[in-house]
Structure 1
Amino acid sequence: MDAHEALGRRTFVVGAGTALLGGGAVSGAEAAVVDGPLPDFHPALKDALTFPLAWGRSPIRDFRAWRRAARAAVEEHLLVERQDRTPYAPEFGGRSRTRDYTRELVTVSLTRYERVRGALLTPHGSGPFPAVLLLHDHGATFDIGKEKLVRPWYDDTRLASAGAWAEKYFSGRFVGDELARRGYVVLCLDALGWGDRGPLAYDQQQALASNFYHLGSSLAGLMAREDQRAAAFLARLDRVDARRVAAVGFSMGAYRAWQTAALSDHVAAAASVCWMTGLKEMMVPGNNTLRGQSSFHMLHPGLARHLDIPDVASIAAPRPMLFLNGGLDPLFPADGVCVAHDKLRAVWRSRHAEERLRLKTWPELGHVFTDPLQDEVFRWLDSVL
């Protein structure tokens, strides 16, 4: 989700949707789109979304069976092959030591289509260590990806951009480096379009997503599959304790974190900062998601006919999960956050595991991952891993 985007308001047009809901005849001249743009019959489309596969609403009463069914529904809507057994074939290089940890670049095959380069940080010591799959945000800034979270010791040209990003959103910290200092192995990779795999231009996003759909695949589905495979790769490293792997992210990275926890049993816990809401509450005039563009990285067509956003995150229950939101975050209205939190809380409570779910809103903060929130995440990771 892009914190830089601002929506211009458009005038509502009373058209075909009003006539349909009122039982009147519809002429061609009455068809219209409204603020957003939304179809003018969007309230009827919202009303049709009942999320019948959600836990508690689904006829499946056994939780493990429900998890399998819900995960299968998400997998089906990724539109990418489920069983990609391409060898990771990791190549390591660019090694550098700091006082507390070793930095190196790693290149892996997350799918059969492309090799992906990432930053891998390992604390000094014998290990095996707990580990974090660190997932970068969107932010409408594509020249850096992994560099938003890990100081780019290997590329001076990206350091200025990365430093400015850290100052704006992370209190000047590089979150990955902070985690490595605290004893975690950290893996951070570029998503398609960012860093070494970009830079994508902002107004190219819808065309890129459209071309994926034309090719029978999905941009958001590729990201989900790559994150799932990255979690498995990290868990299999000799230096990592496979029982103690977490996914952590901010903004789009937060979405990726809880999504990876839902889709991968390699993730023991997940911390998501500034990306959780109810779908209906997010799809309102003026919300950033109505612009398209960045939304295509987080859109699985048709999935909303089965599951709401927090329903997908609930597939990870009863594992430990942390959701932090800013009360002044313009991207996620407070009512949507409350709806999502209520749904999440009900699922973990049904598993007698409410103590494993932490939900917190910082009233004075917006769409940021500043040091108070980072410290909260660090403390929580220490407690659950």
Structure 2
Amino acid sequence: MGTPDTLYPALKKELTFPLAWGTSPVRDFRDWRLMARAKVEEHLLMERQDETPYAPEYGVPSRTDSYTQELVTLSLTRHERVRGVLLTPHGPGPFPAVLLFHDHGAKFDIGKEKLVRPWYDVTRLASAQAWADKYFSGRFVGDGLARRGHVVLCLDAPGWGDRGPIAYEQQQALASNFYNLGSSLAGLMAREDARAAGFLAGLNRVRRIAAVGFSMGAYRAWQTAALSDDIAATAAVCWMTGLKEMMVPGNNTLRGQSSYYMLHPGLPRFLDFPDVAAIAAPRPMYFLDGAQDPLFTAEGIETAYAKLRAVWSSRHAEERLRTEIWPGLGHVFTQPMQDEVIDWLDSVL
């Protein structure tokens, strides 16, 4: 009789990702993109709600020396209104834009505030600044992007900031309730993120959109690029790996908790993480990972990068894909990394 210790490795060996580009029987790349996206859509377990009016409500704008800050509340689904922050550079526009995705970090009192300085709520400022000090060289990434001429939209994911805080130990119960309802927590977040891209694309002040994120936000960024043609470019910091190489003893993927925000039941029977990201090919994408990141094995990162390079190469678009492993760095988005991303955005947007 098999035990969990023997069953799990046996099931892992059966993951062959048969619908990946180059393995799939679909040989036309445009047809493959449509097929692969449909397969991801199927496994979100959340119905499409693209016709729900956004009905945005804007707060009182506040001006800095180089950009305007305002709160915006909108409907990403028909079930809930979501509050976010919108930064707009001074000038006539339209401007390049960034849909900015916050991380997980098991810290739920702040979401959008992890990346944009909370001018509207001084009670969250200390928590937000401490997070920026820990992961972002003391910077607020969204404010830096706005100073460099980008419109920035950042919204709370379910459970963070204005939509929380949820306790870390409550996540499994939340995910289980979604599964009991025939839906998925990860699917809800994916749907909302794609809808946010559509909202940003519809603003007159915006001309082209990049998706940018750190950690879970990086996962959200390349996932949104796969699901939405509104995303013209993507920068993903510290979240790319092969699934099988990540599933090693002690990894967060095997613990439940935060993984439920990135777990689409059944999808790995067909596509690996880089296969999903490759649905966005040959649009420009930039992946940055730390060589000492404890959440991802070096083997997993290299495996994913090789898969991605093969896809872009097949489209004769190698120059549109940039993959980097930063020596000596862990799970962080430091000032030099931020500067590289912003310079890259300027070159592609």
Q: Distance in 1 between matches of 2:270 and 2:99?
A: 28
1:279 matches 2:243: yes
Distance 2:9 2:220 in 1: 28
The CA distance in 2 between the partners of 1:285 and 1:58, in whole Å, is 30
Deviation (angstroms), 1:237 = 0.4
User: Cα offset for 1:291?
Assistant: 0.9
Letter of the 2:266 partner, please give it.
G
Q: In structure 2, what is the Cα distance between the partners aligned to 1:320 and 1:248?
A: 12
Amino acid at match of 1:332: F
Q: Structure 2: which amino acid aligns with 1:270?
A: T
| Equivalent of residue 362 in structure 1, options 326, 330, 339 | 326
- Kindly indicate whether the alpha-carbon contact (under 8 Å) linking 2:49 and 2:78 is maintained by their aligned counterparts in 1: no
Q: How many residues align structurally?
A: 349
Give the distance between the partners of 2:328 and 2:19, measured in 1 at CA: 35
Q: What's the counterpart of residue 379 of structure 1?
A: 343
Instruction: Indicate the residue corresponding to 1:222 in structure 2.
Output: 188
RMSD: 0.7
Deviation of 1:179 after TM superposition, in Å, equals 0.2
1:106 and 1:217 map into 2 onto residues whose CA distance is: 27
Runs of at least 5 residues in structure 1 that lack an aligned partner in the other structure: 1-15, 18-30, 35-39
Conserved in 2, the CA contact under 8 Å of 1:84 and 1:112? no
Deviates more, 1:279-288 or 1:334-343: 279-288
Are positions 1:304 and 2:286 aligned together? no
The match for 2:168 is 202
Any residues of structure 2 matched to 1:163-174 within 5 Å, and which? 163-174=129-140
Following superposition of structure 1 onto structure 2, how do residues 273-352 of structure 1 map, counting pairs within 5 Å? 273-352=237-316
Alpha-carbon distance between aligned partners in 2 of 1:113 and 1:129, rounded to the nearest angstrom: 31
The alignment's TM-score, normalised by the length of structure 1, stands at 0.90
Give yes or no for contact 2:171–2:258 (8 Å, CA) kept in 1: yes
Which region of structure 1 is more displaced relative to structure 2, 109-118 or 43-52?
43-52
Moved over 6 A (4+): none
Matched residue, 2:214: 250
2:49 and 2:77 in contact (8 A); partners too:
no
> Over residues 254-273 of structure 1, what are the superposed CA-to-partner deviations in whole Å (9 max), with x where a residue is unaligned?
00000000000000000000
1:57-101 Cα offsets, whole Å, 9 max, x none, are 000000000000000000000001124310000000032100000
**Matched residue, 1:162:** 128
Measure, in 2, the Cα distance between the counterparts of 1:41 and 1:219.
Answer: 26
Tell me whether 45-54 or 78-87 shows the greater mean CA deviation: 78-87
Query: In 1, distance between residues paired with 2:10 and 2:273?
Result: 19
User: Is 1:99 equivalent to 2:65 in the alignment?
Assistant: yes
- TM-score scaled by length of structure 2: 0.99
Equivalent in the alignment of 2:42: 76
Residue 321 of structure 1 deviates from its aligned partner by: 0.1
What per-residue deviation string (whole Å, max 9, x for no partner) do you get for residues 89-120 of structure 1?
00000321000000000000000000000000
Deviations 1:176-233 (A, max 9, x none): 0000000000000000000000000000001000001111111000000000000000
Give distance in 2, aligned partners of 1:301 and 1:245: 29
SS of corresponding position for 2:325: strand
Segments of structure 2 that go 5 or more residues without pairing to the other structure are none
Partner residue of 1:119?
Answer: 85
The equivalent of 1:48 in structure 2 is: 14
